[in-house]
Structure formats: structure tokens, C-alpha cells
Structure 1
């Protein structure tokens, strides 16, 4: 009797569970991650002892940010749901090289940022929180003050000094000096070996999980083939993200074929900024050939701004729009479409900034609760729903700033509705687009849309978005009612015999 009752109670519990649970993500993939991108010097000053020649009021010199400052804010980053961080170069730089790109020594950390020991601690603390660590690895140039520049035995380690006159000429890009910096000759076997050995050394020494590669299009593709082959042997799942020069147009398939897993796409970035900086813009330019190119070229790094571009908030302000609303709709799209979202530090407070160095302002940790709460909700759904990171994508509706699309993965279907227009929008989806006789459960605002007459009618207010998951219709089920009745009857019978047995025992 007890076994039967226990079985039926278990059955009752199972019947009450949600009709469709999220598909489990086995073995985290890079497309499952959400990356918080940090310019080290401008993020957080955690150790005043390394503020050598730092001046927080001068945007062209070191401002004081360091490894310890990032360690101190790892919980802050984790609480927003981020699962990876990307760091600008950490190598020892020449005077005023706050950005990290004027390398003096490929085997030392910059003294302004902290010691090797502190950086190792940063990686370890990030991993404790299940946060992966990416760092920029510079391969195109060195600082003018690098010892090699004046070493007579290493003159063939650099290309002859020359300016780039034609930015569409690949040979000029690979051989020319950018911003007057000595351009490394990666075709030289000694240079190639040195850079690859250094890259492998940092993985062994620190345990980082990937490299972002600045000015990837200024370095021969043949070098990247050898680089990726060797570096990826050091750690399973090691990621290589290419960062081309701003506004560069390149064949991403070529770099993917060389072992580069992902590439920052500036052409897509331009379309995203135009679509979301103001309202009532068509999404068609974004969707035109982006997803078909992804299938060919692999995983894309999607972003709205970074350390090379003006801040997206500037675009919004220029259009006389409210930053909070525009950022919410833009991030909803960024987080729910194929690729790896790269989130530039300060976005959570809608930080403004023009051209370099204004776009690299110091982080301010004042609370912008509404936007941070929204970002946290988005990352929560992205981390839970495999369909949002691994699923196929199909646009179901796209008109005048309103878009609806679905992502499908292993039976899990998510539907994303974004209203970036000035009016409430009504969208009717048919049973040809979504399975009939089910319901859409909203995960951001809690909206529920049930199938009626073979249709789903979505109504989304202006400046609002919703992420739905397609499930069985909720409500009281016949199976649940029957299970309840049976359980109550059996519990009643059990109690009857229990009371009767006790009475019999008393008489005896």
C-alpha cells in the first residue's frame, strides 16, 4: 500500500512539472558564452602601488586600472551573467602605452597592470566563477623602443618602414607600418617561431582560454594557419578571435579556413548601429546575408562598439533618443542571434565616448539598476536556453522596426519579438510558422500567448521586447485531475486500514 501511494504521489509531482523543460547544454561551447570586454587601464584601480606615471585626468596616458581591479569586480561581472572576459594586451609596453599595443617585451606583464603572479590569480579567480578568460595577443608590430628595432642582427625581423597608401591593397596592409609602429615580418621563420612560442608559453603559464588577435588582416593568412595549429595543441577548446582594423572588409571564410574561430564583423556592426540607434528602421539589411555567411564562415563575434569605435551611446544621443530603451532592444537582438556577443565595458551604464581616446573613458560603477537588471535577465535566458545559442534561426516577421524570429534546437523553440518602433505592434503567426495548439511563455515580462484558431497573436508595446519559449498549453490537465483523485482515494484507504489496525492492536 505504501509503495503504491508513493508511486502515485511521484506521478502527481511529475504531472505538475512544466510541459517543456530547457534542453540541457552539455559541454559549454564558445557560442554559449557572453563576453565582457575590458580595457584594463580604464576599468578599475585595485592597486595604487603600481600607479607609475598614472594620471587619471589625462586620457592619453595610464589612468591606473589593473589586474587587481578586475579581480575585485569579478563578482560584479558574474552577477550580470557574463561567462567570459576579454582583456586588452597585458604585455610590457613603452611609455604611455596604456592600451597595450606598444609592446616592449612579449614575456612580461606591464608593470602598471601588475605582476605575473597577480595575473595568474586573476585567471584562477575567474575560473572559480566559471568565467573564461580571453586576452589580446599582439602579432603585427612592436613599440619603437623594442630592443629588436636597434638590433643589427634582427633587421630582417621587420618590414622596411613604409606608410600604407592603399588600404585595399593586402600587400601594403601586411608590410606597412601602422601608426608609425615597426611592422613585424611574420614570413621570417625566426619571427614566426618567436611569436608562436610566446603564445604557447602564456597558455602554459596562465591557463587563459583564448586569444583575441588585433589587426588580424595586417598579418599573412599563412602565419595564422601555423599559429592556430600550434597554439590549439596547448589547450582543448582554445578560442581564436580575429579583430581586423576598423571598417576593414575581409573574406572571413579565408581566416576561418586558417583556424581562426571567429572574427569581429565591422560591416555587420555598422548595420546593427544604424538599425538600433533610432526607431522604425528595417532589420532587412542585418538579416540579408548575415546568417548564410555564418554557416560558411563559422562563429561570428557580434558587437555594437569596442575600443576602436565611437561608443554606440553617442549614436543614440545624436539621434535624440533615450539610451536605455535603444540599448535594451539592441542587446536583446545581440544576445539572441547566432554568434558570440561581445559587450564593451561601460555599456551597462550607457557610457558615452567619441573617437579614440574618448571612447576609452574610465569605468564608473554608479548604479544604473534598470539597464543592469535587464542585461541580467537577458544573460539568464541566454545561459539557460540552448536554442538561443545553438539553434537555427528563421525570421517570421520583419516590418518597420518590428521583428519576430525563432531559434530551434533539439525540440526546444524560442521566439524573440523586438519592437523597435514608436507604436505598439500586433503580429499574427500561423501554424505554418509555429506548431499548433501550444502556447508561448514570455520570459522577460511574463507574457503568455496561446494558440487560437491555428494562430498566435503577439502584441508588443513600443520599445519592448519579449523572449518566448514554445510549450504545451498550461492549465489544469485531465491527467492531473485523475492522478489527484486516485491519490486521495488511496490515501483514504491507507488511513482507514491504519486506523483499523490500531484499534485491533488496542483490543488485543
Structure 2
């Protein structure tokens, strides 16, 4: 009996060797989808903290708070977002509704709620598997910060000088951005204060990351120490920096400091130009950004892709200026942003095609309403969650015509195709054996058409100004076809079992 048991154990081991089990992969930051909220302009959940709120003044507080975000967490989750980036929540001076005019680095802005309410927000988000990223400012304070009149803190600031030469790094780091008092991070006391403060917020609230404001205005050696210090508190803490510059080499150089990721301004510049207007070429420029990022970053998959933010005209306004339809153009831009490598970042209001010009016109109070873009974002988010190829896969350009492109994303045994027609006419694209040599069926995920191979190849019919995502599914040769790998494993296992039984019987006869 013991020998029979041994034979079956051997059988099981062989089966495990022949049919390996893929371990479930741990989610990493490239799997995330970020919803960007300006706290004051999102949702008013607690009117008791509405001090000096004036909805008619675009530069005053409008009432958004932590409770308002808590009440909309389900709304955010249903769109597929797995992380929320909040503008700074520290105490700001009057009119600092946006959070970038710090009055006290350790206090919570009273218009937003209390520290305990923020902790509740973090906890409620974590219960939904949503991460919280806080915007952090260490470059400057508000115009009237108490340190400015403190005799012991005069060397905590640089001299009052304007940034006149944006190509002069010393002037960029030591000059005053928009006249805001510029902190001297080279001062050991100032540096220690800022580092201790950054670690305190992590320890106190259990947040998951920082979006680092005005990175290029702070010395790189500070960021090196900053990255080390904050990750000593929470190892997987995420740092995504803002280096507002059009030169990708300049941006990428800050990755050497230990900052994990950056909001990708070169991506933003090209994506908004191409998708806000019809007939613009996609592949050469957008795929070119990806190819460049691969050479510049250790992990380009975690760069932050965006088409809207609080510092630029909203995408909808760019579309309207080109006399185009916002919903149509948004779908194209979002389809690309969600399927290209990188973390999609969606600014609140984009899901309802919110309009807005220059700051502060791009920061209107959110209006919650039904809109076709909401369901479109939900569909794209669901696809990213279900298809690892869209978050981890390679990115290959198969077709690049004027206004029309087809890209492939492949990861392990999964392949998806992204086809975008950025023209005002219907297009037909043929994928030959050179682009797609498999015998497969292309299953459309945004539409209903599935495509099989014919004598020409795969013929894609793309309506004007549309995007489609296809899952490449291998076609079974006939209904009786079975996975030969499994049959092979079963056959070997059966032979081993029979040999084991035969061996036991023979031994008994002997």
C-alpha cells in the first residue's frame, strides 16, 4: 500500500512539473488609476466649515471638504479609480483654497475639516482598496507665513528675487515662484523640519503617496534625502513628482533622486495637441514619447499620463477652441491614455466634459450629473483591471497612417490591439501576416464587431473619430480540438501511474 501511495505522489509531482501554476501577481503602481481632486472644488459634505465661502468669487473657498469626498467614494470607485490625489490639505492663508499657500505645515485647513475627518477619509478609501496621495509643497510657504517675521527664521528663506532666467538652475531653485517666499532647503534646520513634517503625515494618517509640487525648484540633493527618509517610514510609499518642463531629458534626470514617477508633461503636451483636433497624426508622436521614455526611465510604466490638470486649460476648452465636439474628442484621448503604458490620471470634472480656461477658470465646483464619459471611463477602467497587457505589456506600433493608428499590447499569453481613427472620415485598416501572423479572432470590447481573418488579413472598419480595443483570441481549429499540453500531461501521468502499479504487482509476485 505504501508503494502505491508513493506512485501516486510521484504522479502528482510530475503533473505539477508539466502543468505549472502561475502565482498571482501582486499589484504594483502601474496597475493604478488616479482620480485628481481639488478638495475645495469637489463636493460640500459639511456646511458647518463653510467660512467665507463665496461661490461667485473664483478665488474664494467654494465649500468642498473631506466629508464631501467620503460621500463620493463609491462614485469614484464605480468609475474604476484605485487611487485619489488630493491637492494640499495643510492650513493655508486667506484665499488659499487650492492649498499651495501654506500657513502651517502641521495643521489641517479648517475649511476642509479636521485631522480626524481626514483619517476617516483615508480609512474609508482603504476599505475600498483606494489609495490616497497627498500633494506636498516644500519649495515655498504662503505670502504671509509667520516665519517671515520671526527673527530666528530669516535664514530659512532665500533672498527675495524673481525667477528671470528659466534656463538658469540656480535662479530656478532660489528665486520666488509667483512671488512666494522660497524656502532654503540647504539650511539644516529648514531641511530637518520639512523631512520630519513629511514623515509625520505618513505616520499619523497612513497615506500611500505624495505628489511632489514644484520639484525643479528644489535642489536634487534634498530630494535624494527626502526619498530615503519617507520610504524608511513606509517602504512602498509612492512619490510622483511635478517637473513642469517640455524636455523629457530634463524631467527624467530627477528620477536619479529616488522619486518614483512624474506627471508626464511631454505626454500631456502631445496628447492634448493631437486629440483636441481631428486629422492629427498619432503614432509617430505618441509612440515616439514611449520609445524615448523607455531609454530615460528604469520603469516608464509608472509615469503619470494626463490630459487635464489644475494649472492648464481644460481639455474641453482646447476642443471647443478647435470647433470640435468635446465628448467625441475626450473619448479618443481617454482611450489612448488608458491603453498606453503609464498611470492614467483623470482630473475631477473631466468625466462630465467640464469646461474651463486658465486658472482659476479650470477649477469650477464639480457638478454631479449623468454623462456618457462617466460610463466610458468605467469601461476603460474595467478593461485595465481585467487585462494585464494594458498595464504591464509591451507597446508596439503596427499601423501609423495620417490620423489612424493601431497599437499592440502583449503580456505573457495575452494580446490586445488598440485602433484609433482620429479623422473625420471612416477608415479601413488591413492587418496582414506581417503585423498579426496568428490565426485569431479580434473581439471588440468597446463595440460589437468581431473580426476573423480572411484572404487579405484582418480588415478593421473604423468609423470616423472613434477608438476600438480588440482582444486577440486564438481560433480553435475544430470543435474537438483540445489543449495538447494538458493531454500530454495526462498521458505521461497515466503512464507513470501504470508503471507504479505494475511495479507493485511484480514485487508482490516475487
TM-score normalised per structure 2: 0.87
1:325-474 matched pairs, under 5 angstroms: 325-368=328-371, 370-453=372-455, 455-473=457-475
Contact kept, 8 Å, 1:228 with 1:260, in 2: the verdict is yes
Query: 2: distance between equivalents of 1:170 and 1:352?
Result: 35
Q: CA deviation at 1:250?
A: 5.8
In structure 2, do the counterparts of structure 1 residues 400 and 277 end up closer, same or farther at CA, with 3 Å as the change threshold?
Answer: same
Query: 2: distance between equivalents of 1:146 and 1:94?
Result: 8
The runs of 4+ residues in structure 1 deviating greater than 4 Å are 246-250
1:335-365 deviation per Cα after TM superposition (whole angstroms, max 9, x unaligned): 0001111100000110000111000011000
| Match among 294, 315, 320 for residue 323 of structure 2 | 320
Query: 1: distance between equivalents of 2:477 and 2:52?
Result: 66
Query: 2: distance between equivalents of 1:229 and 1:276?
Result: 39
Aligned position for 1:6: none
Contact kept, 8 Å, 1:36 with 1:84, in 2: the verdict is yes
Q: Secondary structure at the match of 2:362?
A: helix
Query: 1: distance between equivalents of 2:249 and 2:441?
Result: 43
Q: Secondary structure at the match of 2:232?
A: coil
1:458-497 matched pairs, under 5 angstroms: 458-473=460-475, 477-479=479-481
In structure 2, do the counterparts of structure 1 residues 351 and 430 end up closer, same or farther at CA, with 3 Å as the change threshold?
Answer: same
Q: Secondary structure at the match of 1:167?
A: coil
1:105-504 matched pairs, under 5 angstroms: 105-245=104-244, 251-283=250-282, 284-297=284-297, 298=299, 299-368=302-371, 370-453=372-455, 455-473=457-475, 477-479=479-481
1:436-483 deviation per Cα after TM superposition (whole angstroms, max 9, x unaligned): 211111111132112234722211111221111111226961248xxx
Q: CA deviation at 1:295?
A: 4.4
Q: CA deviation at 1:24?
A: 8.4
Q: CA deviation at 1:248?
A: 7.4
Query: 2: distance between equivalents of 1:307 and 1:75?
Result: 23
Aligned position for 2:9: none
Contact kept, 8 Å, 1:34 with 1:82, in 2: the verdict is yes
Query: 2: distance between equivalents of 1:405 and 1:287?
Result: 9
In structure 2, do the counterparts of structure 1 residues 128 and 236 end up closer, same or farther at CA, with 3 Å as the change threshold?
Answer: same
Q: CA deviation at 1:235?
A: 1.5
Query: 2: distance between equivalents of 1:176 and 1:250?
Result: 23
Q: Which runs of 5+ in 1 are unaligned?
A: 1-22, 481-508
1:90-105 matched pairs, under 5 angstroms: 90-105=89-104
Q: Which moved more, 1:240-249 or 1:142-151?
A: 240-249
Q: CA deviation at 1:426?
A: 1.2
Contact kept, 8 Å, 1:24 with 1:386, in 2: the verdict is no
Q: Secondary structure at the match of 2:253?
A: helix
Contact kept, 8 Å, 2:426 with 2:463, in 1: the verdict is yes
1:8-87 matched pairs, under 5 angstroms: 26-87=25-86
Query: 2: distance between equivalents of 1:479 and 1:293?
Result: 43
Query: 1: distance between equivalents of 2:107 and 2:149?
Result: 20
1:66-115 deviation per Cα after TM superposition (whole angstroms, max 9, x unaligned): 01000000000111111111000000000110000010111111000000
Q: CA deviation at 1:197?
A: 0.9
Q: CA deviation at 1:239?
A: 0.9
Contact kept, 8 Å, 1:431 with 1:454, in 2: the verdict is no
Contact kept, 8 Å, 2:255 with 2:261, in 1: the verdict is yes
In structure 2, do the counterparts of structure 1 residues 192 and 432 end up closer, same or farther at CA, with 3 Å as the change threshold?
Answer: same
Q: CA deviation at 1:292?
A: 2.9
Q: Which runs of 5+ in 2 are unaligned?
A: 1-21, 483-510
Aligned position for 2:7: none
Q: CA deviation at 1:302?
A: 0.9
Contact kept, 8 Å, 1:87 with 1:135, in 2: the verdict is yes
1:126-180 deviation per Cα after TM superposition (whole angstroms, max 9, x unaligned): 1111111111011100113222111111111110110111112111010001111
Aligned residues: CA RMSD: 1.7
Contact kept, 8 Å, 1:428 with 1:456, in 2: the verdict is yes
Query: 2: distance between equivalents of 1:92 and 1:99?
Result: 11
Q: CA deviation at 1:25?
A: 6.3
Q: CA deviation at 1:300?
A: 1.6
TM-score normalised per structure 1: 0.87
Q: Secondary structure at the match of 1:313?
A: helix
